[in-house]
Structure 1
Amino acid sequence: MRIYQYTNIEALAYILKNRTIRFNRLDRVDDVEEGNAESKGVQFCKYVFVSCWTESEEENIPLWKMYGGDEGGVRIGLEKKMFKEYPISNMELGWGKAQGYIVSKIPPQDLNKPNYFFLPIMDYDNDLFYRHIRYVEDVYSYTKDAFKITNVKGDRGNVQIDYKPFGYYKHKRWEFQNESRFVLYAFPYNPLIEGANPEISTIATHSYLQNKPLPFDDYYMHLKDEVIHDIEITLSPSATDAQRIIVECLAEKYATKAHIKESSLGKLIRLK
């Protein structure tokens, strides 16, 4: 199944050349309400990264206007199961070797960092990694109880975290986007490295309560080569001849089997 993203030609060039998709931090997206959602003062949106798409094959005029710009934008279509996979077994960690085998979409070198950790995504068939946005009247009502501390003794306690509400809910005013998205969750510490530390619960608690920053604002996931070569590129309804040439040249160099299409709206609307 193909899914679609509206973007500009510059972003298309990076996608084709680097074979990556950018995940933006949730507190930096254009929906300010969603990006400000928190729980007990913990700004979880700093630890959530999203790549936004739609499953609708019908072209969407507001999405062209918002993300493709007045002219020169494109809509890319890629297979939903687009990301490169990495077999990982018996991963070496600071305290020893973690036994076991998984196939992760996060490369092993990014699971072994001292100051952050991504949940190792393994499949598309649950709504933790890939989901359809739910549109609601009040986003905060779904996120406010996501962070809980139980069994508090002095400055210690057990942390219970439900990351899932973040990146799941948007206000109904955004329903026109008909959005689905990929979601990555990062921890501001590495539980694999800290796993042998008896103070791991305290480390986790303090990391969140202090809103410990991550060392990056966005993250790039690598695409399968065959997915890039099968990319569908729809030109903006307002595309110029020069922009068509640029897209064709990019495809000729980086994705020789790309399907380049004219917009079905080309003779029906003006985006300017």
Structure 2
Amino acid sequence: MSDILYHYCSIETLELILKNKTFRFSSLGIVDDMEEALTSDFEDIGRICFVSCWTDLTQESVEMWRTYTGGKNGVRVGISKNLFKFDLDEKGIPLPSHKIMEENDVFISPPYSPQLIPITYTKDDDLINPSVGKTANDICNNCGRKESNLILQTNYLGRFKREYWSGQSEWRYKLIAVPKEYYRNNERGKYLNGDPKDMTELMKSDLINMVFNNDYIDFPFNKFALDQIEVILSPLNSAEDNKRVEELIKNHTNNATVKPSSLKMRK
């Protein structure tokens, strides 16, 4: 694949990206494909998967201009796929991730930062709605009591869509984030006192019914990426819209380029 990926968004979203130096990751519970959060054994547990959606199509897409810019005005941002590369702390955790986990009261699964994956388009229902739960009953090393372990296998979450979405040629950055309340419950021993089978069901119920502070996570990107972006102006923009974009780029970047669309479209 090319080193460059593309992201369609409104001018308002572009302004937030440039000012905050973050990209928004949305829970699969709110993306346009309503099947994405569903699993065969854990209801809509796919909500723990947060994604930022991109495409590798270098040619502009009429569909994406209308769908992902609000159909009024917008831009297509082209940027290096390495924008989420960070220095690590002594435990191997990317430096921005600590703040993200604290602010959102979530625990991000290893490797603790966005991972880039291609979307696979398929007819296979087992991939569209995968089984994600695995249970094991063990003996606690400290107290000798039976305990239940519930493991979520999250590799398939956010990776597969039905073939009729294939025109998007989508790549996405993916985070797995679980509310810290679930881990606090574990630390308090909520899932230790009782029959292992009942405790496993309690874990499952708590996970399915958990509540996030937000249905999105704003993750920072490397600032170097700002000076390398290429912005294509939507063919639906007015002259005033284009002027606004040019001012934003001038105020927030050093070497970024702005180009007109190669398309002619009616609003």
Compared with structure 1, are the counterparts of its residues 250 and 113 closer, same or farther at alpha carbon in structure 2 (3 Å cutoff)?
A: closer
Shift of 1:106: 4.5
1:181 equivalenced with 2:172 (yes/no): yes
The Cα RMSD (Å) is: 3.1
Q: Give the match's secondary structure for 2:254.
A: coil
TM-score (norm 2): 0.82
Q: Give the match's secondary structure for 1:34.
A: coil
Partner of 1:18: 20
Partner of 1:262: 260
Shift of 1:116: 2.5
Q: Which runs of 5+ in 1 are unaligned?
A: 90-100
Q: Deviations over 1:41-68 (max 9, x none)?
A: 3422221100000112111111111112
Q: Give the match's secondary structure for 1:227.
A: helix
Partner of 1:234: 232
Partner of 1:67: 68
Task: Please say if residues 122 and 160 of structure 2, whose CA atoms lie closer than 8 Å, have aligned partners that are also in contact.
Answer: yes
Partner of 1:206: 202
Pick from 119, 124, 146 the counterpart of residue 132 of structure 2. 146
Amino acid at match of 1:102: G
Amino acid at match of 2:232: T
Partner of 1:93: none
Shift of 1:258: 1.4
Partner Cα separation in structure 2 for residue 188 and residue 207 of structure 1: 13
- Please say which of residues 110-119 and 46-55 is displaced more in the overlay: 110-119
Partner of 1:85: 86
Partner of 2:143: none
Q: Which has the higher strand share?
A: 1
Partner Cα separation in structure 1 for residue 35 and residue 190 of structure 2: 35
Shift of 1:214: 1.9
Partner of 2:142: none
1:108 equivalenced with 2:103 (yes/no): no
Amino acid at match of 2:89: I
Compared with structure 1, are the counterparts of its residues 139 and 152 closer, same or farther at alpha carbon in structure 2 (3 Å cutoff)?
A: farther
1:6 equivalenced with 2:1 (yes/no): no
Partner Cα separation in structure 2 for residue 165 and residue 148 of structure 1: 14
Partner Cα separation in structure 2 for residue 103 and residue 255 of structure 1: 28
Partner Cα separation in structure 1 for residue 173 and residue 95 of structure 2: 12
Shift of 1:205: 6.4
Partner of 2:109: 119
Amino acid at match of 2:236: S
Amino acid at match of 1:171: R
Q: Give the match's secondary structure for 1:250.
A: helix
Partner Cα separation in structure 2 for residue 200 and residue 105 of structure 1: 32
Task: Please say if residues 74 and 235 of structure 1, whose CA atoms lie closer than 8 Å, have aligned partners that are also in contact.
Answer: yes
Amino acid at match of 1:172: E
Partner Cα separation in structure 2 for residue 141 and residue 120 of structure 1: 22
Compared with structure 1, are the counterparts of its residues 31 and 142 closer, same or farther at alpha carbon in structure 2 (3 Å cutoff)?
A: closer
Q: Give the match's secondary structure for 1:28.
A: coil
TM-score (norm 1): 0.81
Task: Please say if residues 130 and 156 of structure 2, whose CA atoms lie closer than 8 Å, have aligned partners that are also in contact.
Answer: no
Q: Deviations over 1:230-255 (max 9, x none)?
A: 21110012222111110011111111
1:224 equivalenced with 2:222 (yes/no): yes
Partner Cα separation in structure 2 for residue 61 and residue 220 of structure 1: 27
Q: Which runs of 5+ in 2 are unaligned?
A: 140-145
Partner Cα separation in structure 2 for residue 136 and residue 20 of structure 1: 31
Task: Please say if residues 44 and 166 of structure 1, whose CA atoms lie closer than 8 Å, have aligned partners that are also in contact.
Answer: no
Compared with structure 1, are the counterparts of its residues 249 and 139 closer, same or farther at alpha carbon in structure 2 (3 Å cutoff)?
A: farther
Partner Cα separation in structure 2 for residue 165 and residue 132 of structure 1: 12
Q: Deviations over 1:65-100 (max 9, x none)?
A: 1112333111001111102624322xxxxxxxxxxx
Partner of 1:134: 120
Q: Deviations over 1:164-186 (max 9, x none)?
A: 11101111110010000001001
Partner of 1:247: 245
